[in-house]
Structure 1
């Protein structure tokens, strides 16, 4: 820990605050490219695990007999074991209707071939989907042959009480003999291998997260790792990082108690390779009102006497007498300082060499950045004098706000890319330079928690010409050129440090074209954004003199 000093005004000031950047800040300031990993879902085109049950949907309940709604939504009434498997099926609903449970797995992006379903216990399984056949090969074992199909849907129709169906695994072709050791799909690992830092925000389902205690977390043997509001088991974080030899960037759930933080820190100390750094951020975009964590922070910031600020004109959520914006900033600082203290207690002499505390702000909000960093000097919020090593923003590019009227159904791909280039060279660069000045003022690194293109139609409509134009713009070779220019601006002109691209793999839709790969096995020659990232990694290595 950097020992605090009290200045004449009674403010806590760390030794590094007004002198040289800390060791942690120097680490974060080194130019490096990271990647945000996409979230887990049965419909995702990202092949995270070789066991597809780990990406399967949460249970859907249906009537055993044909007919009725697609989801009777009775899973909360069915007794489950500690890993989420029904203790007995069919379950008899209050109206007397027998219920079964279904999980959805896979999608058309997955390879054809033989998938092996394994499970323990006794009962009756039904498997259905397009272009597939299956046969039982023994107790708890089915072979499913899939050819250019869609999902593999698995229903538990009957599960015997006392020996219920559990420990379900759906193994991708070629991994039956080593799925327990392989865990992650080799191509998933290969395509992450070039990146220096992996951010786990989406894999851990940070936005709208429901985790409070360590006991709330998903376990490695929970029936799916894709539980909404919980994310995957934290135990998989060091396992994935160790296989890719990457530093990690974690987002602490906004409601997580001190024991959760301590248990996670302890897990990472014990399991992560000891030469790897850990970037620690509190939740994600706690200024962004579309997320529940922001609404929660506004409320607790106003409720907490230590973080409460009387209304000064920022009363976004109508909390009587409270400046909910500044109160939420205070709570952010207080909680991040406490998180730093816990990690320091766990990592002890390795804290300054390995832990990068990240204060995340809004790319176009220099005022927020200033308020956030300044408040770490407040002893009421930060009695131990911890300070962040880095200010993080998300400097996305799309088009300038004053050009929005040009972005309609009639715009062409080239015209859209012209606007994107203009945005990169003006507003994006201007705001990034402002943020760098603020970071320098407080002797912290400027890094990017997310970034890349942000072309999203307004309003978000599924089948429109504008949606298609934006998708085609993301596929155009010029988009790769824009990424190269944009990232060189960040590293060379702005002087930014670690930059985490958003994101890894994802299908382009009217919600955005976030993935630099559209599907896991996409040819790199057809993925201009991914190729541009590889080019920038080579560029940074050459600049650093790495052979």
Structure 2
């Protein structure tokens, strides 16, 4: 064999080796990707409340629960018999007044005019950091006298407030609406809020539905007109589906654990009838049934004991929740019988306690479930709960935080194996940083704004994409640091990315993992 033939043979052999190497890499990548769908980011919305740092509704009046004031008796929560079907004051005792805390826009400017309207026979006016301008039949206008809360952030100034008052309530007040005078009457949601949902494909309405509260549930509540959104009422199906259409997202509903079959059926039918073509609906019963600190877990344990389920109370709690999930799924399945591909029936469990995932193998629950949901949090163990114990400095804390991300990703892999064995999707109903330092909020705030927090979120989401893929609904959209934690991607509406490392990482990840809305 001459030199040229030998050279050609070597080149051919090298080419074969290269092809095999490339093929091996491709095959390895394909094999690794089997069963790991593309990641689709979701977000948990914050509860509409006048004290929150997020304005979702344009109507400033729907953020609070009305209170009453009786002559000489001070303020107290309004009594059920003093509330009409829409949640507003009705037939108050003589001399009584009712108050409604309005949402004071974070970007409010002095002189900005707000128009309030309502239906029903009653007098109404506004007070606190406002100046009354004009009034007429069932309307008045006022102007803000202080800057919004963003302007005083970081100072000791008392937050501005605006309160609407009702007196001489002869019949039922309804359709209360307060908004900037230049905003159209048919604008349900704040445009900036809708724009903030652009990076996300799924919106979880758990807090909008007050699933952790104990409100009375009936189909009428979700069919009514404009009503206050608070711990006594959930957002209406109509409003939530309107946001789904406007933001172009898939809805994820968490119906209260003690919902009646009629309520579940009515809710499902409204969603079915208004869900746009091509959209998918995720649905679960309750919230964190494995957690004894929430209403769902407490009721599930009590019901499990009463039914004699499980070898011990906690197992009975999980089994009872599984049966409720099965019941919910059966009702939604019948409603969506004509479009089953658009429905995802969710069973939620504890990422760090795999028994909560495996329990669906009992009582023939597994065939009724499409997806197992977990909450990939990290950071809860970085700081001791006892303030008397030594705690790490910020640099040491981030080293520990990085290790916790690794541990969380490892648990994601184990949960994915369980889901695969059961033939179910693995999705995340919540997730993100779970730092709790109630005794040192300034340290928590420093960590939430440190650039290294962006690295932690990127590492978590990259690990999720590698180990599980599919939907990851981050908790939550907005919320600053406080004694109860600091879970928000941003501290407040409109906070710049330069001050929001979590949001910076999430939005960058969303751009690089965009399967399309």
Q: TM-score range by the shorter chain?
A: 0.7 to 0.9
The aligned counterpart of 1:201 is 206
- Whether the 8 Å CA contact 1:43–1:105 is kept in 2: the answer is no
Q: Deviation of residue 301 (structure 1)?
A: 1.9
Verify the 8 A CA contact 1:220 1:236 in the aligned structure 2: no
Q: Compute the displacement of 1:401 (Å).
A: 6.7
Contact residue 44 and residue 507 of structure 1 kept, 8 A: no
Q: Is the 8 Å Cα contact of residues 88 and 227 (structure 2) preserved in structure 1?
A: yes
Tell me, in whole angstroms, the C-alpha distance in 2 between the residues paired with 1:408 and 1:243.
49
1:356 corresponds, among 330, 344, 350, to: 344
Q: Cα offset for 1:335?
A: 1.9
Larger radius of gyration: 2
2:494 paired with 1:487: no
SS of alignment partner, residue 296 of structure 2: helix
Q: How does 1:112-123 map to 2 (within 5 A)?
A: 112=109, 113-123=112-122
2:479 to 506, 510, 521: 506
Partner of 1:235: 238
Q: How many angstroms apart in 2 are the aligned matches of 1:333 and 1:221?
A: 34
CA distance in 1 between partners of 2:81 and 2:283 (Å): 37
Matches within 5 A, 1:170-181: 170-172=178-180, 174-175=182-183, 178-180=184-186
Q: How does 1:124-135 map to 2 (within 5 A)?
A: 124-130=123-129, 132-135=130-133
Does 2:191 match 1:186? yes
Of 141, 157, 161, the residue aligned with 1:151 is: 161
For residue 348 of structure 1, give the secondary structure of its aligned residue in structure 2.
Answer: coil
| Cα contact 1:134–1:145 (8 A) shared by 2 | yes
Counterpart mapping for 1:388-427 below 5 A: 388-398=369-379, 400=381, 411-425=392-406, 427=407
**Alignment size in residue pairs:** 470
What is the deviation of 1:484? 0.7
Structure 1: runs of 5 or more not aligned: 1-25, 93-97, 313-322
- Residues 1:78 and 1:406: Cα distance change in structure 2 (over 3 Å): closer
Q: Does the 8 Å CA contact 1:51/1:169 hold for their aligned counterparts?
A: yes
Which stretches in structure 2 are left out of the alignment for 5+ residues? 1-33, 149-159
User: Does residue 1:48 correspond to 2:56, yes or no?
Assistant: yes
Work out whether residues 108 and 151 of structure 1, in 8 Å CA contact, stay in contact via their aligned partners in 2. Answer: no
Equivalent position SS for 1:118: strand
CA distance 1:350–1:235, change in 2 (3 Å)? same
Distance 1:473 1:401, change over 3 A: closer
Residue number in structure 2 paired with 1:142: 140
1:222 CA displacement: 4.7
Contact 1:28 1:498 in 2 (8 A): no
Which residue of 2 is the match for residue 258 of structure 1?
Answer: 261
Secondary structure, in 3 states, of the residue corresponding to 1:48? coil
**CA offset at residue 365 of structure 1?**
0.5
Map of 1:18 onto structure 2: none
1:221 is matched with which residue?
A: 225
Number of the residue aligned with 2:334: 345
Taking the aligned partners of 1:407 and 1:397, their CA distance within structure 2 comes to 23
Q: Deviations over 1:169-197 (max 9, x none)?
A: 1113531xx232x2111000000122010
Paired position in structure 2 for 1:21: none
Residue aligning to 1:309: 309
Shift of 1:258: 1.2
With over 3 angstroms needed to count, the CA separation of the structure-2 counterparts of 1:360 and 1:77, relative to structure 1, is closer
Q: Please, which of 318, 322, 332 is the counterpart of residue 321 of structure 2? A: 332
1:439 corresponds to which of 398, 415, 419: 419
Could you tell me which residue of structure 2 aligns to residue 473 of structure 1? 447
Q: 2:288 & 2:357 partners in 1: Cα distance?
A: 12
- Equivalent residue, structure 1, for 2:431: 451
1:374 to 327, 339, 361: 361
SS at match of 1:288: coil
Shift of 1:483: 0.6
SS in 1 for 2:79: helix
Distance in 1 (alpha carbons) for counterparts of 2:115 and 2:442: 37
Cα drift, residue 63 of structure 1: 3.5
SS at match of 1:61: strand
